[in-house]
Amino acid sequence: MAQLYFYYSAMNAGKSTSLLQSAYNYHERGMNSLVLTAAIDDRYGVGKVTSRIGLERDALLFNGNDDLHQMIANQPHKPDCVLVDESQFLSKAQVRQLTQVVDCLNIPVLCYGLRTDFQGELFEGSQYLLAWADKLVELKTICHCGRKAIMVVRMDEQGNAVRGGAQVQIGGNDSYVSMCRKHYRELAWD
């Protein structure tokens, strides 16, 4: 039976690396995996899933208006699995469409993304994946103190925590730091 998985974490936990490993495992078994990534995140090239350790793979892009069920159903070869990077950028409707892929097309869907934004709020895609996924898997990373990092702090050019602004600002280690709740509280909460 196919299932919907949500692999979530703070930044720098290896989400993209894990996705790429899963894609490789399917490929190694002679199976076809379809990799999707958010069009909004083009830091490492358009239509690519890239990990910080140098692995990469081509991917189909999705944006907020795409019907993912239709996109997947219309593939020339039925995929054996669907892997979605940057799944926090999915809309509620798209998460629902992925449940249709699982339930109606019997294709497993593995989503990888952030749970919360820099203000500690759920992303829309993450909210509905947490609510509707069959399996939830937390990937762990650590704070500078050694505790588990569950929060992400947005930093400005001077290294100060940013407390307001748009939910989405694409960036990596230059803009965000993963921290435990204690250190996040000291920097980001009033």
Residue 86 designated active-site: yes
To 5 degrees, how large is the angle CA 21–CA 122–CA 109? 35
CA dist 16 and 59 (Å) reads 12
What's the start-to-end Cα distance of the chain, in Å? 46
Half-sphere exposure of 69 (CA within 13 A, CB side): 15
At 132, list the tokens. 């509707």
* Active-site residue identified among 86, 121, 124, 138: 86
For strand 176-179 and strand 151-154, is the pairing parallel, antiparallel, or unpaired? antiparallel
Which of left, alpha, beta for 143 (phi over 0: left; psi -120 to 50: alpha)?
beta
Q: Which residues, 6+ apart, have CB-to-CB distance to 8 below 8 Å?
A: 15, 112, 113, 114, 115, 126, 129, 130, 136, 137, 138, 139
- DSSP state at residue 10: S
Residues assigned a catalytic role: 86
